[in-house]
Structure 1
Amino acid sequence: MPEKAATPSPRKGLLLRLLRWLSWLLIIVALVGVAVYLAFGPAHMIDRLMPPPPAFPEEVIEEPAVAAKPAAAPPPAAIQHAPADSQELTILMLESIEDIWGEFLARADYSYKKPKVVIFRDRLESPCQLKGTFSGPLYCSGTSQLYLDMGYLDDLQKNAPQVGDLARSYVVAHAAAHHIQKLVGVVGWFRDLNTDLGPSQGSESLRVTQELVADCLVGSWISYARRKYAWLEPEQLDAALKAVRERDAARAGAGLPPMADPLDLPDSAARLRWLNIGIDSGDPRECSKLFTVAE
């Protein structure tokens, strides 16, 4: 009689099926790995090291919004003189900054969020996680806190009365411009870029660029605010910047605490140039041209 064919073991059949499934799984994993490598491998690493520049508002306003007035009423005259009290001036300038930048940001789907303003005089203990005592204006991006030194502003008014109103307004607006940079992503962009470049590739150059961006944004604000506040005269900005630099040096020699964020970097000529770019254009998008300097 012929011998019966051997019946395959159920265990052996199951093992063969598992091996086939495992082979297909390995093939799929390999294909996925190749795709990931092609998309994100070393060939594209450089593209990921440089964060994309932030975008400033895409649309420029013609005029900051004002409350509707009767048709017969004449347009209000510009306010000729700033309040003598530095705190009153600070409040006035911050209100103007909120109004004008609220318009800019709203047209680009951003929203203006007020910084937490801290008013002090001459001495500030350990701001922004810094150790020690400091003075002068300072913005902390981590906590959105804006520190404004009334003693510093009073010194500007006392020692440069001919441009003291403009100089004080500039200092407040410049500090607030760093808050605007945070709202549109500039602060994070510079921080990421600084990390990617490393300590040997120009951290100070990035800081200079960030300061000039702030000045350009101040210029965009002045372009509109000067229609209401007559002391915001672009022709006097050179003298106002000189007064600011002189007060920084004088306070350092008067035994006052060091400035937490000195306004002597970069030089006045560069600051004036970018202030005027903001003023002449009235367009904060012009400030984006500075990003090519950082790159």
Structure 2
Amino acid sequence: MKWEGNRESDNVEDRRDDGGGGGGGLGGRHIGIGSIVIALVASYFFGISPMTVLSLLSGGGAPVTQTQQAPAHAPPADDRMAKFVSTVLADTEDVWTDIFAKAGGTYTDPKLVLFRGATPTACGQGESAMGPFYCPVDRKVYIDLDFYQTLKNQLGAPGEFAQAYVIAHEVGHHVQNLLGISAKVDELRSHASQARSNALSVRLELQADCFAGVWANHAQTSRQILENGDIESAMNAAARIGDDALQKAATGHVVPESFTHGTSAQRTHWFNAGLQGGSVKDCDTFSARSL
């Protein structure tokens, strides 16, 4: 992936040296590693706050909003991985600002928070074991960069463009938030059966995958960021975190009605739909009869 020398975003907060933000609790309740593993398998790419999953597993209700935020500062200039993340975030800013402007709207940039271990968020306590996630309340993407080692070594999805896809997917949830899609889905899910709620969650996640593809399309057209093998690495990452793949790896079998993010085939299909079409209109997963 060609990214070095491109613009870096100013919207990156580095909390990695801020003491972990309070450790492994949620609203004062202890969360065991078993619960975190369950949450990880059930919702690997958390578009709808992962703290909700952990809160339910711990016997609580809605996650408690965290008001204490760690001090924000920019990452060190010589941190290559932070520079990569900042550059990818900047590229998503450029793409979505242009798309919104052409549609007569205004894009508001999200913040991206780098942390280690745990950190407070407006959606509750964030844990690195949960993987990257987006909090719609504070409009921030959270990521522990150690996740990329998990992506490469445990999930078998190496490559810089696979790493960029992770960020673009979470930014896709930010786009959904700005467009009011997330709020509408949350409202529908609050009155739906568990099966219907899961089905709506799948469509939300697949749309975020498609939005990641839209970003890749525009970034390639404008800046020619792709190299040989990049598309394949992103497709591989999308496939590795499909609900069927994660469930089979964890339990040896799959339970389709419990899917919340989509199968490997669905995730690669919708990423590719955005990549090939390059339009938000290509990402209407909610009207699609077949996913």
Smaller-chain TM-score bracket = 0.5 to 0.7
Q: CA deviation at 1:114?
A: 1.4
2:110 aligned with 1:115:
yes
| SS of residue paired to 1:175 | helix
In 2, Cα distance between the equivalents of 1:280 and 1:265? 21
**Which residue of the partner structure matches residue 268 of structure 2?**
272
- Give the structure 2 partner of residue 98 of structure 1: 93
TM-aligned CA deviation for residue 109 of structure 1: 2.1
Identity of aligned residues (%): 27
Contact 2:206 2:261 in 1 (8 A): no
Q: What CA distance in whole angstroms lies between the structure 2 residues aligned with 1:82 and 1:194?
A: 43
SS in 1 for 2:109: coil
Q: Deviations over 1:141-200 (max 9, x none)?
A: 1121211221102443566898421211111111111001111111112122223x4345
Deviations 1:195-254 (A, max 9, x none): 3x43455111111110001011111111121342124832333323345569x96xx99x
Does the residue aligned with 1:202 lie in a helix, a strand or coil?
Answer: helix
Return closer, same or farther for 1:290/1:147 CA change in 2, 3 Å cut-off.
Answer: same
Residue 238, structure 1, aligned to residue 235, structure 2: yes
Report the counterpart of residue 284 of structure 2 in structure 1.
288
Aligned equivalents of 2:260, 2:163: Cα separation in 1? 15
Q: In terms of mean alpha carbon deviation, does 230-239 or 112-121 score higher?
A: 230-239
Residues 205-284 of structure 1 mapped to structure 2, 5 A cutoff: 205-227=199-221, 228-231=224-227, 233-242=230-239, 265-284=261-280
Query: Residue type matched to 1:220 in 2?
Result: V
- Mapped contact 1:224–1:282 kept (Cα < 8 A): yes
SS in 1 for 2:284: helix
Q: Distance in 2 between matches of 1:142 and 1:266?
A: 24
Task: Report the TM-score when normalising by structure 2.
Answer: 0.60
| Conserved? CA contact 1:211–1:266, under 8 Å | yes
Distance 2:124 2:204 in 1: 20
Would you say 1:124 and 2:118 are equivalent positions? yes
Describe the shift of the 1:173–1:286 C-alpha distance in structure 2 as closer, same or farther (beyond 3 A). same
Q: Call closer, same or farther: CA 1:110–1:213 in 2, change over 3 Å.
A: same
* SS at 2:146 equivalent: helix
Q: Partners of 1:117 and 1:185 in 2: how far apart?
A: 20
Closer, same or farther: CA 129–81 of 1 in aligned 2, 3 Å: closer
Amino acid at match of 1:138: F
Higher Cα Rg, which structure = 1
Aligned partner of 1:241: which letter? A
What's the counterpart of residue 74 of structure 1? none
Specify the code of the residue in structure 2 equivalent to 1:106: A
Matched residue type, 1:79 = K
Residue pair 2:201, 2:260 contacting (<8 A) in 1 also? no
Query: Aligned Cα RMSD in Å?
Result: 3.6
Structure 2 counterpart of 1:211, which letter?
A: E
Say yes or no: does 1:141 pair with 2:136: yes
TM-score, length-scaled by structure 1: 0.59
Change (3 A) 1:116 1:161: same
Return the offset for 1:87.
1.4
Q: For residues 125 and 157 of structure 2, what CA distance do their matches in structure 1 show? A: 36
1:86 to 1:156, Cα distance in 2 relative to 1, 3 A: farther
The 1-side partners of 2:80 and 2:276 are apart by: 30
Asked if structure 1 preserves the Cα contact closer than 8 Å seen for 2:85 and 2:164, the reply is: yes
- Residue ranges of structure 2 left out of the alignment (5+ in a row): 7-78, 251-258
Structure 2 residue matching 1:96: 3-state secondary structure? helix
Distance 1:278 1:97 in 2: 14
| Counterpart secondary structure, 1:206 | helix
Offset at residue 96 of structure 1 (A): 0.5
Letter in 2 for 1:238: M
**1:87 equivalenced with 2:10 (yes/no):** no
Contact 1:157 1:165 in 2 (8 A): no
